[in-house]
């Protein structure tokens, strides 16, 4: 059945897959809802935004995304409270960032009205897939790819913007062990590290697989020039607690400006916790681990929210972190505070919740 909002055409699925899904046993990012949002860029403009049943798509083998990697994405979540109200968390940040990422890859900006109207129409249509309860969410993946069938090495003239949705529970169920990089790099000065470019993640897979063979789940990335400054943890921003001070690296053209990261920095201020945004060296954290002042390390990102780190290794030196899981840990405090805001269980004094009406 087809109908229209002011700008967006909607074709609903003939039937739903929801009854085949075990929501208590979800494998992250493998189950998708009944519908998706699609909009194409042709002749210098975005046109024909539509919602349609989730389905396979056909592209020419010469589509530029396959050859030159013009692809960017975002990670967002929708939450449902016990009254059935649906909320997004700081969605304007994600909208601004996907356009910043697109600009860095010479891709056109997406219109704000299409983004929010398409997203909200999609969430209303697939509302039943958003389960209430802390820890439950609907993960949203907006992304843009170059679709023009041409293999000359230049920016494309045709693109597709899409949003697909996947029900999610907690991403990491336990603390992770990490390896601090001393050879491979995630990004470099002047590069695309601050963009959510698809290729950034592909480039992480090989060094991460080497770390996993050694018994670690993730890599903590260091600066490409000297490998002395700590920057990100896997696909997340990273925080260090030394005594009662929180430390995280400043954003740059190497480090993603994470929405969860900036929310934690603000929450730390709200809670009276000192948060130093500055460069932090590998040696500083190793020394803090040796003298007992290193209390916690945790990653922060949309999928995991907060991911505690229980141990790290650097150049064959292994350090266990004793404070993981403690009731007074900052990781637990920030995660619970964020989840309470996201699920409409506490005040939202910064206006971060965006209700889907």
Regarding whether 107 and 197 lie in a shared domain, the answer is no
DSSP string over 247-312: EEPPP-SSS---HHHHHHHHHHHHTT--EEES--BHHHHHHHHHHT-EEEEEEEETTTEEEEEEEE
Regarding whether 111 and 51 lie in a shared domain, the answer is yes
Instruction: With beta carbons less than 8 A apart as the criterion, state whether 137 and 78 touch.
Output: yes
Regarding whether 248 and 148 lie in a shared domain, the answer is no
pLDDT of amino acid 81: 97
Q: Please, how many CA atoms are within 13 Å of residue 218, restricted to the half-sphere of its CB?
A: 26
pLDDT of amino acid 6: 66
Per-residue pLDDT of the chain (357 residues; tens, 9 = 90+): 455 456 899 999 999 999 999 999 999 999 999 999 999 999 999 999 999 999 999 999 999 999 999 999 999 999 999 999 999 999 999 999 999 999 999 999 999 999 999 999 999 999 999 999 998 999 999 999 999 999 999 999 999 999 999 999 866 567 899 999 999 999 999 999 999 999 999 999 999 999 999 999 999 999 999 999 999 998 899 999 999 999 999 999 999 999 999 999 999 999 999 999 999 999 999 999 999 999 999 999 998 899 999 999 999 999 999 878 888 999 999 999 999 999 999 999 999 999 999
Expressed as residue numbers, the domain containing 201 is 176-342
Regarding whether 183 and 64 lie in a shared domain, the answer is no
Give tens-digit pLDDT for 186-207. Answer: 999 999 999 999 999 999 999 9
Regarding whether 237 and 215 lie in a shared domain, the answer is yes
pLDDT of amino acid 1: 47
Of 116, 145, 168, the one marking the end of a domain is 168
Task: Give the CA distances from residue 196 to residues 38, 102, 146, 148, 342, in Å, rounded to whole numbers and listed in that order.
Answer: 19, 9, 15, 21, 23
Regarding whether 141 and 50 lie in a shared domain, the answer is yes
Of 144, 168, 192, the one marking the end of a domain is 168
Rounded CA-CA distance 286/61 in Å is: 49
Q: How many domains does the chain have?
A: 2
pLDDT of amino acid 323: 77
- Strand bridging mode 137-146 / 86-89: unpaired
Q: What is the CATH number of the domain that holds 222?
A: 3.20.10.10
Tokens 């020419």: give the residue.
Answer: 60
pLDDT of amino acid 4: 47
């Amino acid at each position: 059945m087809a109908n229209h909002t002011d700008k967006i055409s909607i074709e609903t699925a003939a039937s739903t897959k929801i009854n085949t899904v075990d929501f208590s046993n979800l494998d992250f990012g493998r189950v998708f809802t009944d519908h998706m949002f699609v909009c194409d860029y042709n002749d210098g403009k975005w046109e024909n935004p539509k919602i349609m049943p989730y389905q396979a798509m056909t592209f020419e083998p010469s589509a530029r995304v396959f050859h030159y990697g013009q692809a960017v994405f975002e990670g967002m979540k929708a939450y449902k409270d016990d009254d059935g109200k649906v909320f997004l968390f700081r969605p304007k940040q994600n909208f601004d960032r996907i356009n910043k990422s697109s600009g860095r890859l010479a891709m056109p900006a997406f219109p704000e009205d299409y983004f929010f109207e398409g997203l909200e129409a999609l969430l209303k249509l697939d509302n039943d897939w958003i389960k209430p309860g802390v820890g439950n969410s609907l993960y949203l993946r907006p992304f843009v790819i170059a679709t023009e069938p041409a293999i000359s090495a230049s920016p494309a003239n045709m693109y597709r913007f899409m949003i697909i949705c996947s029900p999610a529970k907690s991403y990491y169920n336990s603390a992770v062990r990490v390896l601090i990089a001393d050879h491979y790099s995630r990004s470099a000065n002047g590069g695309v590290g601050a963009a959510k470019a698809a290729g950034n993640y592909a480039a992480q897979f090989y060094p991460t697989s080497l770390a996993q063979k050694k018994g670690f789940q993730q890599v903590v990335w260091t600066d490409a020039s000297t490998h002395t400054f700590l920057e990100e943890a896997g696909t997340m921003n990273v925080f260090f607690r030394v005594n009662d001070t929180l430390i995280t690296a400043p954003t740059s053209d190497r480090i993603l400006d994470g929405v969860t990261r900036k929310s934690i920095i603000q929450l730390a201020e709200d809670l009276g916790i000192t948060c130093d945004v500055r460069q932090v060296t590998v040696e500083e954290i190793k020394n803090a681990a040796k003298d007992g002042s290193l209390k916690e390390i945790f990653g922060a990102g949309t999928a995991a929210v907060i991911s505690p780190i229980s141990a790290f290794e650097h150049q064959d030196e292994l350090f266990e972190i004793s404070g993981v899981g403690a009731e007074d840990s900052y990781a637990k405090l920030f995660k619970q505070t964020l989840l309470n805001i996201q699920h409409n269980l506490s005040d939202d004094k910064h206006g971060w919740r965006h209700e889907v009406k």
